[in-house]
Amino acid sequence: MSSKQSIAFVANTSWSIYKFRLYLIKKLIDHGFTIHVLAPRDQHTALFEHIPGLTFIELTKFRGKSISPLYDFQLFRELLGHYRRIRPDLIFHYTIKANIFGSLAAARMGAPAVGVITGLGYAFSGNTLLQASVKTLYRRVLQKNAETWFLNTDDQRIFTKEQLVRKEKTFLLPGEGVDTETFYPSPYEPGKKTVTFLLIARIIRHKGIYEFIRAAELLTQRGLAVRFQLLGFFDEGNPVAISRLQVEEWARQNNIDYLGHTDDVAPFIEQADCIVLPSYREGLPLSLLEGASMCKALIATDTAGCREVIREGVNGYLCRKKDGADLADKMEKYYRLSPAEKRQMGIEGRSRVLKYFTNEIITGIYLDKINQLTSAQTTNVNIVS
């Protein structure tokens, strides 16, 4: 692989690059690629911006939560300017605005790009006007990409059915990859008197936090020896954000223990028995994969993304969407399993991660696809010449 090949990664936060793609980027550098990361600066930028072979470019016009044609045009111009200067051989875009305006900028300068749909998010579950606008934009720009990648079959099906992208230009990527050495097995220990359920997520309504609270109330009323923990950051400014005051009130009522926010979630997973995610929709939830990698059983919503991770009754349970009572029933079902059954669920989850979702597997897929896409681009250039 040529050491002169340059790959750009574009995202709405530095945090997402650090959290989901740092292993991949380091491996690409090891394989001789030059890497550019384009994202707004945040508290995670310093954790990777000085890696040899990686150049960080701050995006100052990226306003992820703003709906403004002026700001969006400024973002397009900013990205176009950077692409013209660095001239990457391939660009990966993540999240809606990066996908839309990054794809437009890449097409303007003739650079091949891949749009990665990491989840449909609020834009596809909020008001119908916003949905219609986003779909119209996607329909116009995704055709300009070399490929569009999805993390689950549900999202892929929606985009092809609604003709937002041609099926032959789509690809299914099995997640962002799990570090199975950091997230090492911590099987269920028999003899524990209390079962701990842990929810790891941004503190927003669409992660199913209200349903988690409802399930906590119901299981407490049933007299079960259970503990409910919430770990995650407050996504202030998000249209479906949950306030810090609300979470503090839940904690005062002894419904949950709020654990704050950390990048090092492994010690919290280790102390839990079961990882819960009653989300309304996901791409492919890393919290479930990391929990499974540590041999923890899983309970999540029977919805896009979560279905890719959980095999019903094997490594966990699926509950109905927006149904705290059904979530409580699934949690009680896990609670009443024997220690051996709980342990076996964890083992099955770890086995599934090792088979499909490791960092090594995902990086191998990226390398193969990058090879294909850059080779195709070189061939096209030679034909045109």
Do both 138 and 219 map to the same domain? Answer: no
The continuous run of DSSP H or E covering 54 comes out as strand 54-58
pLDDT higher than threshold 50 for residue 292: yes
Q: Does 119 reside within a domain?
A: yes
CA-wise closest residue to 94 among 27, 24, 29: 24
Across 184-188, 220-224, 243-247, 303-307, least confident range: 184-188
Whether 289 is in a domain gets the answer yes
Residue 189 lies in a domain: no
363 lies in the same domain as 284 = no
Residues 246 and 296 in one domain: yes
Q: Are residues 48 and 155 in the same domain?
A: yes
Residue 1 lies in a domain: no
**What mean pLDDT is predicted for residues 208-231?**
97
CA distance 130 to 137: 11
Q: How far apart are CA 353 and CA 98, in angstroms?
A: 29
127 and 201 in a common domain: no
Rounded Cα distance between 242 and 71, Å, is 26
* Beta-carbon contacts of residue 381 (< 8 Å; ≥ 6 apart): none
Q: Are residues 46 and 152 in the same domain?
A: yes
CATH number for position 378 = 3.40.50.2000
For position 382, what pLDDT does the model report?
43
In this predicted structure, what is the pLDDT of residue 1? 44
How many structural domains is the chain composed of? 2
Query: Could you tell me if 135 and 202 lie in one domain?
Result: no
What does the pLDDT look like over 65-89, one tens digit per residue?
667 788 899 999 999 999 999 999 9
Task: Identify whether residues 239 and 256 lie together within a single domain.
Answer: yes
Could you tell me if residue 190 is inside a domain? no
Q: What is the pTM of this model?
A: 0.91
Determine contact, residues 195/226, Cβ cutoff 8 Å. Answer: yes
Three-state SS at 247? helix
Quickly tell me which residue has 């993390």 as its tokens. 151
Domain that holds residue 144: 6-177+358-384
